Structure 1
Amino acid sequence: MHLHTAAINPGALLIEANKVIRQHEHYLSGMKATEVEQKGNVLVFRGEFFLDEQGLPTGKTTAVFNMFKLLATLFSDKYHLEI
């Protein structure tokens, strides 16, 4: 299933992902990946989505979603989570 990717533990991957986030031109203060899971061949990242008091998305929510999508694209071709 993971013939072309390297195994990595979730903690190490989150460290690497958060470096990418902090160095990205669209970084927002407080943006951070706090969880990662394997869904098939895709790594799914999660973290704070900056919802408002009613739990609705804010302008920052789109930026966070796009960042997590970027992380999935960058890292899913390189890594799979260690079991």
Structure 2
Amino acid sequence: MHDTIQPIARQSLLIVANEIIQNHEDYIQGISATDVTERNGVLVFSGEYFLDEQGLPTPKSTAVFNMFKHLAHVLSEKYTLTD
């Protein structure tokens, strides 16, 4: 399976990730990946987590976390960062 992992630039990967987010059935307006890093072969996506005034998670925060987890699972099997 690792034979199919392709190198990809960070910005190109973010474009792919945001297309997946927008087309996902659980998409919520405003969710987007703004950065990605790679740790031990796993892509880690980040972006706005929609915390409340006290800095605590909201229901939308859970949706963001789940979406970024989905991206990590799907895209880590396909890509590795070149930058």
TM range (shorter): over 0.9
Give the length in aligned residue pairs.
82
Over aligned residues, Cα RMSD in angstroms? Answer: 1.1
Shift of 1:5: 1.1
Q: What is the letter of the counterpart of residue 36 of structure 1?
A: V
Q: Which segments of 5 or more consecutive residues in structure 1 lack a partner in the other structure?
A: none
Deviations 1:24-78 (A, max 9, x none): 1111110000000010110000000010011100000110000000000010010
Q: Percentage identity across aligned positions? A: 55
| Runs of 4 or more consecutive aligned structure 1 residues displaced over 6 Å after TM superposition | none
TM-score normalised over the length of structure 1: 0.94
Shift of 1:3: 5.2
TM-score normalised over the length of structure 2: 0.94
Q: What is the letter of the counterpart of residue 11 of structure 1?
A: Q
